[in-house]
Structure 1
Amino acid sequence: MEMATVRQDGGGSGVACGENLTCPETFHPRGCPSVAGPYIVRPRVPEPPQPPAHSCPARRQHGAEPTRVKVGDLDKDVVLSCKEPPETWQLNGDPDPMVELVPAGTELTVVGLDLPATGNYTCWAHGRLLDTTFLAMRSTPGRLIHRLSDEQVKAVSCHAESYCGTFKCEWRALEHAFFRARIFRSGESPGAWQCTGLEQRGLVNMDFVEPGFCPFAEEMQPLVLELQALTRHHLFEDFRLRLFLRDIVRPEPPQNVTAWREGQQLHLAWAPPASWSHPHSYFTLRYRLQYKHHDGSMGNLQLETVQEIQLAGAVRQVRLSCQDPFANSRWSAWTPWKDV
């Protein structure tokens, strides 16, 4: 939502936008059904320390994603660490792997990383497990996640149905892989990881919620999306994407389209999509109407904020779509053709 353009609130709700605007601490917009709990606002109160980077639940069955991941490059040395000085190190349960390893104190250097040297490293003392690290090797960009070009932004597509702070991102996995992702505002602490839990290939998507998002305030800093992929063959790929919610908003189609005739006049009425932000007098929508005549000709109208209209002539079918007029948002999909 480009807040340099002031929305006119014709409903008398008293909402005004400015740099110092904050949402009430318990604000919960009715147009945001998927956001639960109190609506926390920015500036945020200090939060407890974030979970470590391996915050996705650890799973011990075969094929589950590892907990802590260390990533190295092909033919480069990688240094692993243990919480305490260990007596022995193991790679995938093997105390004597065919890999060049150099232990020193609490550290272990893996010399000249290749695929046989990747996997689950554990350090032990007196028969007790001290620490675990999963070592993966970085893949070439685009091997795991499909990219349309060298630009990382082309690898993922995100969209939001409203200004509720919720959105969905999707990408195409070229190999079976585990995926995890997290979002945070630029300059703030990263949030917790979200994991797919199971290996996926093909189209992969995740839903995200920014609990501190205020729909009435201008976005000053972009959201950062971090995405990581890890295959069972221990290949790793990652990238970052920066975005503003206002740039990815695409409303759902209008709902409750009704039509009735009075003499030669066709009356049409409709409502904003159920997922659209409230109040509608503040979050207005622009509509476009497409209609077909009985002789096969078609007409188009663009309508600002109104939710009903009268048409003259022999109209037989209509459909509608909508967009946010205050941002450079995409038009929604069309409603199905409605016989009138």
Structure 2
Amino acid sequence: MKCIGEKKIEKMLINVSSAFSTSFSSLNAVAAAKKSNTFTLQCGATSNGDVIWTFNDQKLDQKAGSNLVLSEVGQPMVGNYTCQSGGESVSTYLLLQDEDEKEFDDFLTCRAKSYSCTFSCKWNDTNYKLVRLGLGPDCLEGNNLCSWVMGDGRLHFELTHPVSPYSEEHDMLVLTAQAITNYTFLQKSKRFYLRDIMKPDHPQIGNCQKENGKLNLLIDPPCTWSTPHSFFPLEHEVQYVRRNDGKIMTVPPCSSPCHLNLSTRTSKLNLTVRSRDSLAKSNWSQWADWKIVTCG
């Protein structure tokens, strides 16, 4: 996992299968228009007959023809549009207002606990009624080959990725999110390497041993970390409370066992540890709970 690349954030306006319902599966084509802009809906009629447009099942007075031009798009214009030709419905759209620009990370945070085949994401904006995530170019382009993942009731997602844990990562993952709220549609995508979102669970504090005039602290990887541990090494950072003044001291990153530059007369230590991937220099884990260990 040594391949380095810049993160790229993209935003697209597309037509997707969607509508106001409890799922994405039974929707009209969504058209996302920017507020106050002009937007055109196209009817798929192939005949030369008259085209009739309706808005929320009400016939529009204007004779727009195959192209319905909407000026100064705003909330009153949001809803269902249908064009008819020859007495038959030809095209149906759900017009939504395109969400204002925000950073991808304002909406979504993702994390991998290890180099297994999955990672998790959490949607942070509870204003959205429907949210789904997808990996790969098919989802980015919004085509039917995308395997969308729906979140649970708390908008948590578990996604499966194709990255091999035993080879260098050459291609970025492409994650696409689609979300709908009352009158707005959002699609954002982000490119990243798996190591960019790697954050192990906190490690386990082991025994403190006195050996050759040094204090050695054993630290065990979290049970969720990838194995074998020799192939997926972690480095650790240790903090302990200095007994004479209560000051918190930090030991530079080390591999287990960590050598503590303390007198071997020390019998007990109040300490905590955190870990990260030592090769990819991933995000640090959370600190483990403070623990008093006996050095013997």
Q: Same fold judged by TM-score > 0.5? A: yes
Q: CA deviation at 1:69?
A: 1.1
- The alignment partner of 1:141 has SS state of coil
Q: Which amino acid aligns with 1:157?
A: T
Query: Which stretches in structure 1 are left out of the alignment for 5+ residues?
Result: 5-51
Q: CA deviation at 1:214?
A: 0.7
Q: Which amino acid aligns with 1:115?
A: Q
Q: Which amino acid aligns with 2:228?
A: P
Q: Deviations over 1:262-294 (max 9, x none)?
A: 899977544211221122110011112222354
Say which of 134, 153, 172 aligns to 2:94.
134
Separation of aligned partners in 2, 1:76 and 1:159? 39
5 Å-filtered alignment, 1:326-337, equals 326-337=279-290
Name the structure, 1 or 2, with higher relative contact order (CA <8 Å, separation 6+): 1
Q: Which amino acid aligns with 1:79?
A: L
CA gap of 1:54–1:278, structure 2 versus 1, over 3 A, is farther
Q: Which amino acid aligns with 2:55?
A: L
Q: Paired residues, what number?
A: 272
**2:32 match:** 71
Q: CA deviation at 1:195?
A: 4.0
**1:225 match:** 175
**2:11 match:** none
Q: CA deviation at 1:130?
A: 5.4
**2:7 match:** none
CA gap of 1:66–1:122, structure 2 versus 1, over 3 A, is same
8 Å Cα contact 2:15/2:31 also seen in 1: no
Q: Deviations over 1:148-177 (max 9, x none)?
A: xxxx56664332211224333445438445
* TM-score, normalised via structure 2 length: 0.71
* TM-score, normalised via structure 1 length: 0.63
- Cα root mean square deviation, aligned: 4.2
**1:115 match:** 75
* Structure with the largest fraction of strand: 2
Separation of aligned partners in 2, 1:306 and 1:214? 26
- The alignment partner of 2:125 has SS state of strand
**1:283 match:** 232
**1:157 match:** 109
Separation of aligned partners in 1, 2:228 and 2:222? 12
Say which of 273, 276, 294 aligns to 1:323.
276
Q: CA deviation at 1:55?
A: 6.0
8 Å Cα contact 1:77/1:111 also seen in 2: yes
Separation of aligned partners in 1, 2:3 and 2:24? 47
8 Å Cα contact 2:203/2:275 also seen in 1: yes
8 Å Cα contact 1:271/1:307 also seen in 2: no
Separation of aligned partners in 2, 1:291 and 1:92? 66
Whether 1:168 and 2:123 are equivalent positions in the alignment is: no
CA gap of 1:62–1:55, structure 2 versus 1, over 3 A, is closer
- The alignment partner of 2:76 has SS state of helix
Q: CA deviation at 1:61?
A: 6.1
Q: CA deviation at 1:213?
A: 1.6
Separation of aligned partners in 2, 1:83 and 1:274? 60
Query: Which stretches in structure 2 are left out of the alignment for 5+ residues?
Result: 5-13
